[in-house]
Amino acid sequence: MINENAMIMANGMTALIEKLGVLGAEKFVFNLTKSEPFDYTEWRRENLYEDISLEELAHKAAEFSREHPVKFRG
């Protein structure tokens, strides 16, 4: 059985490729891993959902999940 981290990585790459294409996904991963320090948690705090309540965020996440069901490949 695939471990949880491997499943997350596989689903993440699938999502990136679906949205950005193979080259765009590779550029995204490269930019995340290049030598410059990048603090995703800090970036997320500063750039995503600054003025949104936890309840609204949960509602948006549930809505997104309904509209974009996970497709497992295997």
Tokens representing 18 are 């679906």
- What is the rounded average pLDDT of the residues 29-38? 75
Q: State how far the Cα of 14 lies from the Cα of 21, in Å rounded to an integer.
A: 9
Q: State how far the Cα of 64 lies from the Cα of 54, in Å rounded to an integer.
A: 15
Alpha helices in the chain (DSSP H): 4-33, 40-47, 54-67
Is the pLDDT at 1 greater than 60? The verdict is no
Q: State how far the Cα of 16 lies from the Cα of 24, in Å rounded to an integer.
A: 8
Q: What is the Cβ-side half-sphere exposure of residue 34, based on CA atoms within 13 angstroms?
A: 6
The structure's pTM equals: 0.46
pLDDT confidence tier of residue 73, bands split at 50, 70 and 90: low
